Amino acid sequence: MKACQRRFTGSAVLALFAVILAGPIAAEATPATTAPRALPDREALRDCALFLSGRARPGGDQRRNAIIAQPFYTHVATSLARSWKAYASGHLEPMRRWMHRALPHTRRATVFYPFSGPDFPNAYAAYPEAETYLLIGLEPAGTLPSIEGMGDRNIARGMLFLHQLLETFTADNYFHTKEMALFNAWSPSIAGTSGLLLAFLGLMGFEPESIRPFVIDYNGEERTLSRDVPEHRDALDKGEHSVEIAFTVPETGARKRIVYLSADLSNMRAIDRNPGIFIYLERRMPEDVLIKAASYLLHLDNYRSMKRLIMRRARTIVMDDTGPRIAEFGPEWTITPYGEYRGTIELFANRTQPELTELYRARNPAKLPFAFGYGVGSRIMIITRR
C-alpha cells in the first residue's frame, strides 16, 4: 500500500482531543463485542455510512441521536465536510473530467487497483462507468462498528482516528501506511477498511446496499463467511477477511460493487498467508489497471509475480511512476505521458528513472489539473497494448 511516512500528530488531532476531553462524555457502557452478531440490513448499512462520514442526522434512534449531538461528533462532521468539499471540487471532479477525455471510451466491467488500500474515490473518478472496483491492501476488512454496544469514549476515539485518516487522505490523496497501522491498533472499535469504504460512500452520496465478508481459499475460490458456521466466527469477530460492498449511485440508479481483498502481494508472503490469491487474480484479472502511490513495490524482485500478471493480462494501465519501470514496457505498448516528472520524493530517492526523465523531456506534456502520485509534481502515464 502507501508508504510515505507521516507522524500521527498535528493541529487537527490536538484540536479534536481537546474537544473530546472538554465534552460531556458519558460513562462507558458495559463492554460488548464490536462485531455485530449478524450482517446489517440495507437501512442499518446506510445509517452506518452516514454516521462514519459525519453526515448522520437526528432520527428515531435515541442512542445515535445522543452521540451525534456531542461536541466531538459535531467537530468531526464540520471539519470533514469542509475538507471533503475542497477535495471533491479540487481533485475528484477535475480528475473525472480529465480521465473522460484521456481514456479510450470503452465499457469497463472491472477495474483492478492493486496496493490501493481503501482508496475508492480515485478508482471511481478514473472509471465512473465501471461495475466492479477490485481493490487490494494489506489491512483486513475489519468489523463494522456497533454503536449500540460501544461506550461513548470508544466511539469518540474511533471517530477521532477515522477523521484523521480521512483528513490526511483529502490533503495528500493517498493513505499513509503508518497511520493505517495506528488506526487499526488504537481504535479496534472502528477499524479496518470496511468503515473507511463506507465513510467514502457516505461522503460521495452513494447508498450501500449489502456487505459480504469472504476469504480466498487455497484453490483461489471465494468463501463467504457466515456466523452460522462456527469455524467462521473467529475471522468475523477479528475482522480478518476480505469484503464485498454493493452500492447504488442515486443520480443514475447504477448498481456497482467494491471488492476489497486483504492480501499481501509479495511473492512468498502471498503464498504463505493466502495460497490461492494469485490463482484468484489469474482467473479474474481485468484488462484495466490503475496504479498510484504504490511505494514502488513493483520495482522490487519480491513483487515480480504481481508485475508479471499485470503486464501479461492488462490492455490499459493508468499509472504514476510507482508502476512497473518504463524500461520494462516493450514495443507492444504505447506510452503516453501527462503532467510532469521531476524525480521522486526523498523517501524513494533510489527509484528515479532516467528513461522517464528523458520521455518527459522529449514529450513536454501539459501539467495535470489535479494531484496524482507522490509530491514531486503530478504525473500520469496511460499505457495501452497495441
In tens digits, the chain (386 residues) has pLDDT values of 544 433 334 444 444 444 444 444 433 443 333 444 567 889 999 999 999 999 999 887 888 899 999 999 999 999 999 999 999 999 999 999 999 999 876 667 999 999 999 999 999 999 999 999 999 999 999 888 777 777 888 888 888 888 989 999 999 998 887 778 777 766 666 768 999 999 999 999 999 999 999 999 999 999 999 999 999 999 988 888 999 999 999 999 999 999 999 999 998 877 777 889 999 999 998 999 999 999 999 999 999 999 999 999 999 999 999 999 999 999 999 999 999 998 888 888 889 999 999 999 999 999 999 999 887 779 999 999 99
In terms of domains, do 83 and 216 share one? yes
Question: Could you tell me if residue 124 is inside a domain?
Answer: yes
- Whether residue 328 sits in one domain with residue 181: no
- Look at residue 358 and tell me if it is in a domain: yes
> Does residue 81 lie within any of the structural domains?
yes
Q: Where are the strands (E) in the chain, listed by range?
A: 110-113, 132-137, 207-216, 222-224, 242-249, 254-262, 288-291, 316-319, 333-339, 379-385
Residue from 130, 136, 123 nearest 277 by CA: 136
Examine the domain organization and report whether 230 and 188 are in the same domain.
Answer: yes
Provide the residue range defining the domain that includes 332.
317-386
pLDDT of 106 reads: 67
One domain, residues 364 and 231 = no
Cell (9 digits) for 279: 490463482
Q: Is residue 156 part of a domain?
A: yes
User: Nearest Cα to 222, choosing from 167, 250, 260, 187?
Assistant: 260
Q: Please state the pTM of the whole predicted model.
A: 0.89
Instruction: Let me know whether 150 and 94 are in one domain.
Output: yes
Q: Based on the fold, state whether residues 210 and 338 are members of the same structural domain.
A: no
Sign (positive/negative) of CA torsion 111, 269, 293, 182? Answer: positive
Q: Is 127 within the bounds of a domain?
A: yes
Residue that is written with C-alpha cell 472509471 in the block: 127
**CA-CA distance, 243 to 35, in Å (whole number)?**
14
Closest by CA to 179, choosing from 167, 355, 189, 331, is 167
The two most distant CA atoms of the chain are separated, in Å, by 66
Q: Is residue 298 part of a domain?
A: no
Of 269, 286, 303, the residue that ends a domain is 286
Say if residue 277 is in the same domain as residue 366: no
Q: Which helix (H) or strand (E) holds 194?
A: helix 193-203
Distance spanning both ends of the chain, measured CA to CA: 29
Q: What are phi and psi of 274, to 5 degrees?
A: -145, 80
pLDDT at residue 182, rounded to an integer:
72
Query: Do 227 and 338 reside in the same domain of the chain?
Result: no
Any domain includes 379:
yes
The 8-class DSSP code of residue 179 comes to H
- Structurally, how many domains does the chain consist of? 2
In the DSSP assignment, the letter for residue 138 is S
Collapsing DSSP to helix, strand or coil, 172 comes out as: helix
Residues 278 and 365 occupy one common structural domain: no
Residue 294 falls inside a structural domain: no
Q: Which 8-state DSSP code applies to residue 147?
A: G
Q: Are residues 179 and 276 in the same domain?
A: yes
Residue 68: CB atoms within 10 A of its CB come to: 21
SS3 224: strand
Domain shared by 154 and 273, yes or no: yes
* 337: number of Cβ within 10 Å: 20
Whole-angstrom Cα distance, residue 117 to residue 98? 23
Residue 243 CA to residue 142 CA, distance in Å, equals 9
- What grid cell was written down for 236? 468475523
Q: In what order do the strands lie in the sheet with 333-339?
A: 222-224, 207-216, 242-249, 254-262, 132-137, 110-113, 288-291, 316-319, 379-385, 333-339
Q: Do 81 and 215 lie in a common domain?
A: yes
Residue after which a domain boundary falls, among 265, 286, 307: 286
Last residue of a domain, one of 229, 264, 286: 286
